[in-house]
Amino acid sequence: MSAASEEDEIQEEDSEVDSAYASPVVKVIVGSPAQVFLIHKNRLTEASEFFRACLSTDRTTKEPNHSSRGPVSSL
């Protein structure tokens, strides 16, 4: 592999990493006692149909919700 093609491959990988973390951070609260996870929205929606559906509707809120099936908060 030439030095130029190695450099192109590295830049492409860097671009993929950058885009994965360019999305807003979503706060996910799980369990009792509550555990808080801060996860990039792109990662959630790529990995889960559930989060894709939740985060693509008006179910998002900036207000905390303590119900077991409440809205997903987007920071």
Block mean pLDDT (10 aa), the chain, length 75: 65 62 88 95 91 78 51 53
Contact 39, 51 (CB under 8 A): no
In a domain, 52, yes or no: yes
Domain count, the chain: 1
In a domain, 58, yes or no: yes
In a domain, 45, yes or no: yes
In a domain, 48, yes or no: yes
In a domain, 7, yes or no: no
What's residue 23's pLDDT?
84
Instruction: Measure the CA–CA gap between 18 and 36, rounded to whole angstroms.
Output: 24
In a domain, 1, yes or no: no
**pTM metric for this prediction:** 0.51
In a domain, 3, yes or no: no
Instruction: Measure the CA–CA gap between 66 and 75, rounded to whole angstroms.
Output: 16
Task: Identify the domain containing residue 35 by its residue range.
Answer: 23-74
In a domain, 69, yes or no: yes
> Would you state the structure tokens that stand for residue 20, as one six-digit string?
């994965």
Query: Which residues, at least 6 apart from 5, have a Cβ–Cβ distance to it below 8 Å?
Result: none
